[in-house]
């Protein structure tokens, strides 16, 4: 009461709401980053041609789609 915070209620509420949204974004981003750590791309030999193909795109595409929907 001595600081007369009641006079600044709107500003305090606005700052609190923005801080809450920022926290949610940071938490979501941290989870997304940790999810990507589990994705591995591997090289598999393609027949007997001496070339390789990259495997692991299916999991990466599913996760990317999921993350796009979340944002």
> Quick one: pLDDT at residue 57?
85
Residue 8 — pLDDT band, cuts 50, 70, 90? confident
Indicate whether 42 pLDDT > 80.
Answer: yes
pTM, rounded to two decimals: 0.65
Residue spans of the domains in the chain: they are 1-38, 39-71
Q: What is the 3-state secondary structure (H, E, C) of the chain?
A: CCCCHHHHHHHHHHHHHHHHHHHHHHHHHHHHHHHHCCCCCEEEEECCCCEEEEECHHHHHHHHHHHHHHC
């Amino acid at each position: 009461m001595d600081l007369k915070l009641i006079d600044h209620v709107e500003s305090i509420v606005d700052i609190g709401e923005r801080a809450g949204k920022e926290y949610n974004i940071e938490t979501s981003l941290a989870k997304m980053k940790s999810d990507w750590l589990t994705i591995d791309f591997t090289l598999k030999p393609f027949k007997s041609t001496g070339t390789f193909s990259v495997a692991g795109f299916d999991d990466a595409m599913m996760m990317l789609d999921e993350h796009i929907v979340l944002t």
